[in-house]
């Protein structure tokens, strides 16, 4: 088991629930837009929200951002140790690579400042920014990524700082998998998982689910981000869905639906999407089956908490594996959502 660290009000590692992260894509010094996006991410279920802090103006904006939000926030900083020290007054974690901020005295200065404020550090090594010294060692890329992360961590350890999370990411699934396996073997620091530059929605989701899912199922990983080009709220939804589908967190409903075929009697996709949109932000697990006919539908609905089997004009509703009523197709959505609300309040 990894060691546990405290990030604001959140525990990471040491058997704590795997947390879901995302990152704002507004300029951090645009305070109103950034706070609005943090709020949207939090409402979608993000446990941690990271903000880019490229300059002192952004670091100074964190003071007001902190005042306006209770979300767990992380400052993402490259190279400038003064930004890390400034940000540490207002955030719950700093992402910075100590090997990039200068000599041992600067690392010690940052380590001491963060220790005093109880702010942990995430070391994040990406294949695109692997440092030159590591490239010269001519290690295979996964080993080089892991070695780089551990080298950064050693600099903090030399400064007597151990509140560390590690991450190693590549856009290549196998490289990311292997690099994390090496890290998990060689270190007990909590691991943040992600595939970097994963892409737009469908390809990015497939890559991330394959990589992060494999690692989580083998017991590796304490916190995740599914990186997608576009609206970061989608990243949070994807992260929560992944944990839900792996059974690692059961804090949202699961909507299953049949693929449809020549027997389909209702518009399964439209109904399933409406059901999913209506329930996805509920914080309770239940399984809802939306099925296009009675052939396989009855069996699946019986194994779900709630279900519907479509018919030409009427559909059958199931609850707790029992057929409970037949409703006119125009009322199916409303009836199913009523049953969902009742299930959630009963359970
Ligand atoms: S549940 Fe019915 S409609 Fe849906 S795929 Fe199966 S047989 Fe076809």
pLDDT of amino acid 296 = 79
Q: Model confidence at 324, in pLDDT bands (50, 70, 90)?
A: very high
Pair (295, 208) in one structural domain:
no
Give the per-residue pLDDT at 130: 84
Find the CATH number of the domain harbouring 199.
3.20.20.20
- Tens digits of residue pLDDT in 187-244: 999 999 999 999 999 999 999 999 999 999 999 999 999 999 999 999 999 999 999 9
* pLDDT tens string 133-162: 777 788 999 999 999 999 999 999 999 999
Count of structural domains, the chain: 2
Question: pLDDT category, 267, cuts 50, 70, 90?
Answer: very high
Confidence at residue 45, expressed as pLDDT on a 0 to 100 scale: 94
Q: Which atom of ligand 1 is nearest to the CA of 264?
A: 3
Which tokens belong to 182? Answer: 């090496």
What's the confidence (pLDDT) of residue 298?
83
Nearest-atom index, ligand 1, CA of 293? 2
pLDDT value of position 19: 98
Full DSSP string of 88-114: TTT-SEEE--GGGS-SHHHHHHHHHHH
Judge if 13 and 42 occupy the same domain: yes
Please check whether residues 180 and 307 belong to one and the same domain.
no
**φ, ψ (nearest 5 deg) of residue 155:** -65, -40
Instruction: Grade residue 255 by pLDDT with cuts at 50, 70 and 90.
Output: very high
Q: Across all residues in the chain, what is the average pLDDT?
A: 95
Q: Same domain for 54 and 110?
A: yes
Cα of 230 vs centre of ligand 1, distance in Å, is: 34
Asked if residue 321 has pLDDT above 90, the reply is: no
Percent of the chain surpassing pLDDT 70: 100
Ligand 1: does its nearest atom lie under 6 Å from the Cβ of 262?
Answer: no
Same domain, 264 and 195: no
Cα-trace Rg, the chain? 23
Owning domain of residue 295: 254-346
Domain shared by 126 and 203, yes or no: yes
- 125 plus 269 within the same structural domain: no
Q: 285 and 277 in contact (C-beta within 8 Å)?
A: no
pLDDT of residue 301: 79
Tokens describing residue 244: 């839900």
> Is the same domain home to 295 and 190?
no
Q: Give the pLDDT band (50/70/90) at residue 297.
A: confident
Q: Which of 200, 228, 245 is the last residue of a domain?
A: 245
d(CA 25, CA 240): 20
CB 18 within 8 A of CB 224: yes
Q: What is the pLDDT of residue 132?
A: 77
CB 226 within 8 A of CB 244: no
Same domain, 163 and 69: yes
User: What's the pLDDT at 143?
Assistant: 96
Does 259 lie in the same domain as 307? Answer: yes
Phi-psi region of 196 (alpha: psi -120 to 50; beta: other; left: phi over 0): beta
Supply the DSSP string of 204-249, one letter for each residue: HHHHHHHHHHHHHHTT--SEEE---SS-HHHHHHHHHHHHHHTTS-
pLDDT of res. 71 = 98
Distance 267 CA to ligand 1 centre (A): 11
Task: Tell me which of 293, 303, 316 to substitute to probe ligand 1's pocket, judged by most ligand atoms within 8 Å of the beta carbon.
Answer: 293
How high is the pLDDT of residue 24? Answer: 98
Predicted pLDDT at 347: 83
Distance 265 CA to ligand 1 centre (A): 9
- What's the average model confidence in pLDDT over 62-79? 97
Q: Could you please report the per-residue DSSP string of 244-291?
A: HHTTS---S-EEEE----TT--S-HHHHHHHHHHHHTT-SS--EEEEE
Asked if residue 303 and residue 241 are part of one domain, the reply reads: no
Residues 29 and 93 in one domain: yes
Q: Which residues of 309-346 are buried (b: 16+ CB within 10 A; e: fewer)?
A: bbbeebbbbbbeeeeeeebebeebbebbbebbeebbee
Structure confidence by residue, pLDDT tens digits, 94-105: 999 999 999 999
Return the H-helix or E-strand segment holding 201: helix 201-217
Domain-terminating residue out of 209, 226, 245: 245
CATH number at residue 281: 3.30.413.10
- Whether 298 is in the pocket of ligand 1, judged by its Cβ within 6 Å, is no
Q: Which of 198, 219, 245 is the last residue of a domain?
A: 245
Distance 276 CA to ligand 1 centre (A): 19
């Amino acid at each position: 088991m990894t060691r546990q660290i405290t990030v604001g009000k959140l525990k990471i590692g040491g058997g704590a629930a795997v947390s879901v992260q995302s990152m704002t894509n507004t300029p951090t010094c645009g305070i109103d837009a950034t706070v609005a996006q943090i709020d949207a991410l939090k409402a979608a279920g993000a446990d941690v929200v990271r903000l880019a802090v490229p300059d002192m103006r952004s670091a100074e904006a964190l003071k007001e951002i902190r005042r306006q939000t209770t979300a767990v926030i992380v400052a993402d900083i490259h190279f400038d140790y003064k930004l890390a020290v400034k940000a540490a007054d207002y955030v719950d974690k700093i992402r910075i690579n100590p090997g990039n901020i200068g000599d041992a005295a600067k690392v010690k200065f940052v380590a001491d400042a963060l220790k005093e404020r109880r702010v942990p550090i995430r070391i994040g090594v990406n294949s695109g920014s692997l440092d030159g010294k590591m490239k010269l060692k001519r290690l295979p890329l996964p080993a080089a990524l892991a070695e780089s992360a551990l080298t950064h961590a050693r600099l903090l350890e030399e400064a007597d700082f151990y509140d560390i999370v590690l991450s190693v990411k590549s856009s290549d699934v196998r490289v990311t998998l292997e690099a994390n396996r090496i890290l998990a073997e060689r270190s007990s620091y909590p691991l943040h998982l992600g595939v970097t530059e994963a892409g737009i929605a469908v390809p990015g989701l497939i890559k991330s689910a394959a990589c992060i899912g494999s690692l989580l199922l083998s017991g590796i990983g304490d916190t995740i981000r599914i990186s997608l080009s576009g609206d970061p709220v989608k990243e949070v939804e994807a992260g929560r869905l992944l944990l839900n589908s792996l059974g690692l967190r059961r804090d949202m409903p699961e909507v299953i639906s049949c693929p449809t075929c020549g027997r389909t009697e209702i518009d399964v996709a439209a109904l399933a999407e409406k059901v999913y949109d209506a329930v996805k932000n509920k914080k309770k697990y239940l399984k809802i089956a939306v099925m296009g006919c009675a052939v396989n539908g009855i069996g699946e609905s019986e194994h779900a908490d709630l279900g519907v089997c479509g018919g030409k004009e009427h559909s059958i509703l199931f609850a707790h594996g029992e057929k409970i009523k037949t409703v006119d197709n125009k009322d199916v959505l409303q009836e199913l959502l009523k049953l969902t609300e009742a299930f959630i309040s009963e359970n």
